[in-house]
Structure 1
Amino acid sequence: MRDDAPHTSNVPYLPRRSVHLDFHTSPLITPIAQQFDPQEFADRFARLGVDSVTLFAKCHHGQLYYDTDRAERHPGLGGVDLLRSQIDALRPLGIRTPIYISVLFDEHAATTHPEWVCVDEEGGPVRVDSHGVPGWHVLDMTSGYRSYLAEQVTDVLGHFPDADGFFYDICFDQLSSSATARAAAIEAGFDPDSPAGRLDAAAAVSHDYMGRLRDMVAGDGHDGVPRSVFFNSRPRLRLADELGFSTHDEIEALPTGGWGYAYAPSVARSVIPIQPRAIGMTGRFFGSWGDSASIHPAAALQYESLQMVSLGLGICIGDSLPPAGRSHEAVTARLADTFARVQAVQECATGAQRVAEVAVMRAPITGGEGVIHADAPGAGELAALRLLTSRGIDFDFIGPGDDLAGYRAVIVLSGVGIDDGVVRSLTLHVESGGALVLSGLPDDVASLQPLTGLSSADVDGFAREFVRPNAAATGLPDFDFVLPGAVRRVRAEGDVHTLATVTEPYFDRTPDRFSGHEYTPAGAATAYPAIVARERVATAAFGLFEAYGATGVPEIGDLAAATLEAVFPRPALRIDGAAHLEGTLGRRSGSSIVHLLSYLPSRRSSADIETVVDPVPALDVAVRVRLDDRSPRAVRTLEGVELPFSVEDGYVHFTVSFDDGHCLVVVEEE
């Protein structure tokens, strides 16, 4: 049950600790649920200490798991009313039970009505490969399947009028060349023969059925709290436009299942500014969904869960109920340990508001291949994630038109369209005392000259060039570091401090004119600035963050960090430790909450999978928390251990060591 402030009854419930209980079970498996025991089921989730469990009404196989007269009822259920028994077992414990319904995957419908399956451009049925073999058919929501699905939802509501919420899964934009899809596109004013028209038509179809399914289940749950509604598999690039469909967001990201370890913390920082009602979702599977005969390493589960908790989000862990209906003790024990740690951390940090001082402005995401990759961070975003979190500087990803109020520093990544509106917004931010870092320059250098003090030199560069840090200004070696590309030639005017300059190669490498293995060596140093700082504005004449994200060269990363520090020297939190460390800060009345994470994903097999097997002991991590006009009364860890501290220049300084992967420190203030 929840351990924070009482729930407000006029908004849907948002879990803090929840389980998403998969039950995708083929009709070829019979009987099923014969070992299901309501008391054992209830005891399990009481032991886990969760406040919500998502339960299956309909799976990807198109089977229903409750006592219905519909033909899709799983043939192996016999006399078991599984979903009702599950709900009745959990309700007395105060555990909410949103209902899962698969949308675009339905093998029963695809088999009995092949005319409802999406059609590719060659006229064949659309299927999604599953682990290298043909898997789920994708249903066409412009066909008769739409009415069929609506009838199923109506049936679920008829049997469960007290439902707490609905989790609609597999709701991505699916292209189809079927006759009904083409007709729907034309009727909506889209060209079904153009790539853009097909994409727009697919999005319109999604919005149509999402609106219908949302409205069908509108109402209150069993205790008068409005039902939660969530549509999974939606691209975050449309999150702002789709806020009216879902009551919250669930950031599905199994690092070992194709998402990787950068996806969740990156996407969370783009979701939170738009939809702060969000939870993170990982899974107990070693690989991805369906890898049920495996268990996620304990350290990985804790890392992925506590990472989301450190951002102020709840956590959901995906699990799978075996066909027999009884969970494995090994899985229960693994989840219980993780949820116990999560609960202790959540209770200690109750009421703390995340401190995100930096906004990282990126170009709008225009699309991508597949659900997993559409929102994956690019090179610049990845660099910002790694560099800022390792220094304890929390941030949000924002778009060019978003509000900058409340941010003390803004980093503008390469590729952002710098129009008049963005120039005005950045100028107001700087004039209001904010810091600005430009990772690259727009084509129209003059548009930002009042901020940067730079003008175009109108000199061509080389295909690959070098950057030489100013050792005195950055603390980096006086060395020429190669870049992935060229540096824009600019001239600096006024009181501008040069942090790095351009070094040119001897000549451009071509098939007939080259030297060495990869690129022509560095030749003549130039006076052209590569990075400059002017009061609160720092500018790189090339994609600085992008270069680090693309190459991983530590000195390029250090150069990016030094560039930010030149104009933003006093963040609210600063940690000095190993590069893999992550730090976040939360504040509430009377105290500051510091989260430190020390885990290191690694690849341990020939499979392209990174995971975390053990936490990494952290030794003597130096931490600074800015308190300004407040004074610390005590500094103690989650375990109640007091730490020695000092106060200097408006910061409380302390050092902490820990060996279990996570440390929470509370700075109590006068």
Structure 2
Amino acid sequence: MKELRYRQVHLDFHTSEYIPEVAQEFDPDKFVNTLKKANINSITCFARCHHGWLYYPSKNAPELIHPNLVNRNLLLEQIEACHKNNIKVPIYTTVQWDGHIAKTHPQWLAVDEKGEFINSQNVPKPHFYYTICLNSGYREYFKEHLQDIIDTVGIENIDGFFMDILFKVDCNCKYCVDKMSKLGFDPQVKHERIEYSTVMLDEFKKEITQFIKDRVPNAGIFYNSSHIGPNNKKSLEDYTHLELESLPSGGWGYDHFPATVRYARNLGKDILGMTGKFHTYWGDFHSLKNKAALEFECFNMLALGAGCSIGDQLHPSGKLSEAAYELIGSVYEKVKEKEAYCIDAKPIPEIAVFTPEEFYSFRDHDLGIPPALIGAVRMLQELSYQFDVIDSSFDFNKYKLLILPDDINFSHELENKIIKYVENGGKVIGTYKSLLNQGSKISSLYGISCEKESDYYRDFILPNEIIGKDLYKEEYVMYLRGMDIKAQEAEVLMHSVEPYFNREGEKFCSHQHTPSSGKLGYPAVTRKNNVIYFSHPIFRIYRKNSAIWCKLIMKDAIELLLKDKLISHSGPSTIITALNTQVNENRDILHVLHYITEKRSEDIYIIEDSIPLYDIEFKIYVGDKNIKTVKSVPRGESIEFHKVDKYVVFNISKIEGHSTISIEY
């Protein structure tokens, strides 16, 4: 799968044995014509589903072909029809969920400390969510299954494999306990069992990748865990590309994709984003996502350096939904028009944000996206900064400014690396506990000392003409406890203010916290040369309460350090911008998105409306480059511009959803 297609559908087909006449209405010509009309150039189709059934004429396990599958050549006919029309067909198979295996080979299932089967989704019966242990005899079973697909489909017909459901799990089965003991892990300690499970997953992926490459050398290979983060780096060589499953309405939310893709796009692999056409989650039959939502999700993938994949589920009849593919086609028509300006485009970042996820321990297990990271991503997007998410192994010198949000663990190695970066002209903003060696005399990075957390669970900040210059010059509450610091070798840019007392014991005042006493407390913001430190967890507060004063004081700090901001505009903070470059085309591409996310329902955030904006001015830093033209794409309409110092300045007359601007040199 050498060429990653940008208009993919992931076609689920998890089909119960209690449904009759499966695939009776499948017609390969109608199937492929629907895909072509919808501008689809890659579709992931099923060899085996979570129920455990096969959808091809298996040579090795014909008894596992879906008992009611009318057309036993379903997968073969899907591939043949698509290949005749230059549509790729990666092959899907499940790994750690299989309802049939759970019933027939319970000895292969992962078990908890009590010997109970592990239901990783906590869904009541009936379900297929019992997790299979990859240390069991199932591993050989899975390789035999892959060989069966290869033998039946044919090497020349295989574009790739999408292998689904590979999760770390606290397995206590005899296979894992034995292997843990041999490798020096203590099977009696939970976090060691979880750590071992990641070792086992990496071992499994390496073995399976080699198995596939020996047989189908050019096949695409991807293992899906519904997330991509620092832990994936250990087995990255076993993937040919990345696919980032992130259905905003399906539990991931609208924060997951931008926080994750900004990290994943720097791992050296081509990447697809994956959402769904469903209103909610996978398997939401006969529902359609709002068109504005699907547009935003796909266009945001393009803006952030990824191709597009939209999840659907084929009806058991084998017939595609006309409505679903009219919806998908309407979005992919626009993707098709714009993808020439997206393929091989690289982001132009000015800031790097460290991910606290790097420092999750196996004691933490599944904490999800760090709240501090979500707060930082939201804040920087709203301020129109261009940024990557990184870990401590990245090259810092690509960035003008490093941000350490709230919870970056201290190590002398990382501190020394950042100090060297600062000595070479780099700028740093740290917040709360990030890289703070509590109890040490003086932080070499920040020029402060810290003995403890603040005595007050809520205190206040007092803005001034340096930090908080656009705020009223009176106290603002900070909703989470800060760090009680002393400025030793740093100047104080802003003070905290103490409340009268905490709400505890017999003392309380009104409904929430006690108001300001007017007494200045510890420094809230300090500066040592090109390093600024905030003593409060600014980003977690922003994630929790979206307090605009947190965003504005951070904006002031960034502006103190970062000159020549890449993008400025006259529009609202609901605009999302992304600036990418296509070096070979000698042009930069500006993406501007404006969609409104709302919590209209009890369960999910939705996007229903795209509210147009008019006459928005943009200033893009271009340095000494000579601008040949600025134009909207794909229409190719020229946009008037002028150069002011090192900026190109122009107006976009109308932004309706997604605008793409080519700045050509």
* TM-score in same-fold range (> 0.5): yes
Structure 1 residues 605 and 301, CA gap change in structure 2 (3 angstroms): same
Rounded Cα–Cα distance in structure 2 between residues aligned with 1:349 and 1:446? 48
Compare 105-114 and 458-467 and name the one that shifted more: 458-467
1:285 alignment partner in structure 2 = 278
1:216 alignment partner in structure 2 = 211
Rounded Cα–Cα distance in structure 1 between residues aligned with 2:660 and 2:428? 31
* Pairing 1:546-557 to 2, within 5 Å after superposition: 546-557=540-551
Q: Of 325, 332, 338, which aligns to 2:325?
A: 332
Compare 272-281 and 150-159 and name the one that shifted more: 272-281
Q: Of 497, 506, 511, which aligns to 2:500?
A: 506
Compare 259-268 and 457-466 and name the one that shifted more: 457-466
Shift of 1:460: 6.2
Which runs of 5 or more residues in structure 2 are unaligned? none
SS of corresponding position for 2:373: helix
Rounded Cα–Cα distance in structure 1 between residues aligned with 2:437 and 2:184? 35
Q: Residue by residue, what CA displacement relative to the aligned partner does 1:194-248 show, whole Å, maximum 9, x if unpaired?
A: 1022112322332232222212211576xxx711111101652311111122111
**1:32 lines up with 2:22 in the alignment:** yes
Q: Residue by residue, what CA displacement relative to the aligned partner does 1:305-343 show, whole Å, maximum 9, x if unpaired?
A: 110100121111111111111101101100001111112
Q: Of 558, 565, 575, which aligns to 1:581?
A: 575
2:7 alignment partner in structure 1 = 17
Rounded Cα–Cα distance in structure 2 between residues aligned with 1:464 and 1:517? 13
Shift of 1:451: 4.5
1:59 alignment partner in structure 2 = 49
Matched-pair contact (CA < 8 Å) for 1:392–1:585: no
**1:207 lines up with 2:202 in the alignment:** yes
Rounded Cα–Cα distance in structure 1 between residues aligned with 2:82 and 2:458? 62
Q: Residue by residue, what CA displacement relative to the aligned partner does 1:331-376 show, whole Å, maximum 9, x if unpaired?
A: 11000011111121212344432111211123324268999x6542
Q: Of 49, 58, 66, which aligns to 1:74?
A: 66
**1:430 lines up with 2:426 in the alignment:** no
Structure 1 residues 374 and 98, CA gap change in structure 2 (3 angstroms): farther
* Pairing 1:400-415 to 2, within 5 Å after superposition: 400-415=392-407
Rounded Cα–Cα distance in structure 1 between residues aligned with 2:363 and 2:535? 31
Matched-pair contact (CA < 8 Å) for 1:303–1:597: yes
1:354 alignment partner in structure 2 = 347
Rounded Cα–Cα distance in structure 1 between residues aligned with 2:522 and 2:549? 20
1:632 alignment partner in structure 2 = 627
| Count of residue correspondences | 652
Matched-pair contact (CA < 8 Å) for 1:484–1:547: yes
Matched-pair contact (CA < 8 Å) for 2:41–2:87: yes
Compare 142-151 and 87-96 and name the one that shifted more: 142-151
Matched-pair contact (CA < 8 Å) for 2:55–2:73: yes
* Aligned-partner residue type, residue 199 of structure 2: A
Shift of 1:83: 0.7
Q: Residue by residue, what CA displacement relative to the aligned partner does 1:377-409 show, whole Å, maximum 9, x if unpaired?
A: x23211211121223212122223432021111
**1:542 lines up with 2:536 in the alignment:** yes
**1:95 lines up with 2:87 in the alignment:** yes
SS of corresponding position for 1:654: strand
SS of corresponding position for 1:61: coil
Structure 1 residues 130 and 17, CA gap change in structure 2 (3 angstroms): farther
* Aligned-partner residue type, residue 136 of structure 2: S
Q: Of 651, 654, 668, which aligns to 2:664?
A: 668
* Pairing 1:558-569 to 2, within 5 Å after superposition: 558-569=552-563
Structure 1 residues 187 and 528, CA gap change in structure 2 (3 angstroms): closer
Q: Of 49, 56, 61, which aligns to 2:39?
A: 49
Compare 334-343 and 585-594 and name the one that shifted more: 585-594
SS of corresponding position for 2:397: coil
Rounded Cα–Cα distance in structure 2 between residues aligned with 1:231 and 1:586? 28
Shift of 1:144: 2.6
* Pairing 1:55-454 to 2, within 5 Å after superposition: 55-69=45-59, 70=61, 71-129=63-121, 133-136=125-128, 137-160=130-153, 161-162=155-156, 163-219=158-214, 226-233=218-225, 236-363=229-356, 364-366=358-360, 374-376=367-369, 378-440=370-432, 442-444=436-438, 449=443, 451-454=445-448
Structure 1 residues 300 and 531, CA gap change in structure 2 (3 angstroms): same
* Aligned-partner residue type, residue 631 of structure 1: N
Matched-pair contact (CA < 8 Å) for 2:446–2:490: no
SS of corresponding position for 1:127: coil
* Aligned-partner residue type, residue 443 of structure 1: N
Rounded Cα–Cα distance in structure 2 between residues aligned with 1:15 and 1:529? 52
Shift of 1:495: 8.0
Identity of aligned residues (%): 28
**When the two structures are superposed, what TM-score results if normalisation uses the length of structure 1?**
0.91
Structure 1 residues 132 and 616, CA gap change in structure 2 (3 angstroms): farther
Rounded Cα–Cα distance in structure 1 between residues aligned with 2:133 and 2:451? 55
Rounded Cα–Cα distance in structure 1 between residues aligned with 2:415 and 2:198? 32
SS of corresponding position for 1:318: strand
Structure 1 residues 185 and 249, CA gap change in structure 2 (3 angstroms): same
Compare 339-348 and 359-368 and name the one that shifted more: 359-368
SS of corresponding position for 1:186: helix
SS of corresponding position for 1:104: coil
Shift of 1:187: 3.1
Matched-pair contact (CA < 8 Å) for 2:466–2:556: no
* Pairing 1:475-624 to 2, within 5 Å after superposition: 475-492=470-487, 496=491, 498-526=492-520, 528-589=522-583, 590-606=586-602, 608-624=603-619
Rounded Cα–Cα distance in structure 2 between residues aligned with 1:212 and 1:436? 42
Rounded Cα–Cα distance in structure 2 between residues aligned with 1:181 and 1:491? 50
Matched-pair contact (CA < 8 Å) for 1:128–1:138: yes
Q: Residue by residue, what CA displacement relative to the aligned partner does 1:143-162 show, whole Å, maximum 9, x if unpaired?
A: 33222222211111111222
Rounded Cα–Cα distance in structure 2 between residues aligned with 1:659 and 1:227? 40
Rounded Cα–Cα distance in structure 1 between residues aligned with 2:280 and 2:206? 33
Matched-pair contact (CA < 8 Å) for 1:249–1:275: no
Q: Residue by residue, what CA displacement relative to the aligned partner does 1:12-49 show, whole Å, maximum 9, x if unpaired?
A: 33222211111111122221111111111121222222
Which runs of 5 or more residues in structure 1 are unaligned? 1-10
Structure 1 residues 276 and 141, CA gap change in structure 2 (3 angstroms): closer
Matched-pair contact (CA < 8 Å) for 1:636–1:665: yes
Structure 1 residues 527 and 370, CA gap change in structure 2 (3 angstroms): closer
* Aligned-partner residue type, residue 612 of structure 1: I
1:646 alignment partner in structure 2 = 642
Q: What's the RMSD between the two structures over aligned residues?
A: 2.5
Rounded Cα–Cα distance in structure 2 between residues aligned with 1:513 and 1:613? 47
Q: Residue by residue, what CA displacement relative to the aligned partner does 1:85-140 show, whole Å, maximum 9, x if unpaired?
A: 00000112222211111011111122222332222332232334476654212222
Rounded Cα–Cα distance in structure 1 between residues aligned with 2:223 and 2:190? 25
SS of corresponding position for 1:479: coil
Matched-pair contact (CA < 8 Å) for 1:281–1:316: yes
Rounded Cα–Cα distance in structure 2 between residues aligned with 1:300 and 1:219? 42
Matched-pair contact (CA < 8 Å) for 1:299–1:614: yes
**When the two structures are superposed, what TM-score results if normalisation uses the length of structure 2?**
0.92
Rounded Cα–Cα distance in structure 2 between residues aligned with 1:653 and 1:448? 45
SS of corresponding position for 2:285: coil
Rounded Cα–Cα distance in structure 1 between residues aligned with 2:451 and 2:480? 18
Matched-pair contact (CA < 8 Å) for 2:226–2:245: no
Matched-pair contact (CA < 8 Å) for 1:411–1:436: yes
1:3 alignment partner in structure 2 = none
